[in-house]
Amino acid sequence: AQSVSQHNHHVILSEAASLELGCNYSYGGTVNLFWYVQYPGQHLQLLLKYFSGDPLVKGIKGFEAEFIKSKFSFNLRKPSVQWSDTAEYFCAVRGYGGSQGNLIFGKGTKLSVKP
Amino acid sequence: GAGVSQTPSNKVTEKGKYVELRCDPISGHTALYWYRQSLGQGPEFLIYFQGTGAADDSGLPNDRFFAVRPEGSVSTLKIQRTERGDSAVYLCASGPLRAADTQYFGPGTRLTVL
């Protein structure tokens, strides 16, 4: 069965610090990969996605993620975080072969940015 | 344009009662998904509709859960004989056309079973 593992439950950073959130998935076939963000009191929003092509994907608000197929990883990065990045971040994968489009989510990483 | 909407935003019910949760997808989206998010967890898939039909209901935990989408737009998730373990945020998402498209999430319905 497919699964997604997010290594960090809660990350606390100061403004301007660099961010990297880990995400590993288990699925041997073709995958689509996503990062969603949930700001306090808001619904899940798409941050970025990888379907094919360049494994370095750029998303909104200065976020990027790199798909490394050999490591089954899709880590999220941002060079310099802001207080407004405080949110919960979810990595998700959609594999092919049986399922018809549903996403498998990790447990999420809560990011707290101190001003 | 308008996003995915869900009603009610909060629902408190007693153990054993029946509840209905409603989802209005983005206009024109043919794919619709229901997920459930328990505290401290990521969303877990329940059911996927393509048009009016349930294309994949493998995530429904048991036969107390049922969902419909009779006209290919609005969907209702129905839970019979609610249990305390059903307490969670129920999320709906819709997508433009195919299963492979990006999913857009609604704000969710927080269900509390006392």
pLDDT for A2-32, tens place per residue? 889 998 899 999 999 999 999 999 987 788 8
CB A50 within 8 A of CB A65: yes
> For B30-76, what is each residue's pLDDT tens digit?
999 999 999 989 999 999 998 898 888 999 999 999 999 999 899 99
CA distance B6 to B98: 22
Rounded percentage of chain B residues whose pLDDT exceeds 90: 79
Residue B1, pLDDT score: 57
Which residues lie closer than 8 Å to A23 by C-beta, 6 or more apart? A4, A5, A6, A7, A33, A35, A73, A74, A75, A76, A91, A106
CA distance A34 to A40: 20
Mean pLDDT on B92-107: 83
Is the CB of residue A90 less than 8 Å away from at least one CB of chain B?
yes
Residue A19, pLDDT score: 97
Q: Do A102 and B33 touch (CB under 8 A)?
A: yes
Residues of chain A contacting B45 with CB distance shorter than 8 Å: 102-104
Q: Do B107 and A42 touch (CB under 8 A)?
A: yes
Residue A28, pLDDT score: 73
Phi first, then psi, for residue B5 (nearest 5°) are: -120, 150
Residues of chain B contacting A51 with CB distance shorter than 8 Å: 100
Residues of chain A contacting B98 with CB distance shorter than 8 Å: 101
CA distance A1 to chain B (A): 13
CB B6 within 8 A of CB B74: no
Q: Do B44 and A105 touch (CB under 8 A)?
A: yes
CB A45 within 8 A of CB B105: yes
CA distance A95 to A54: 18
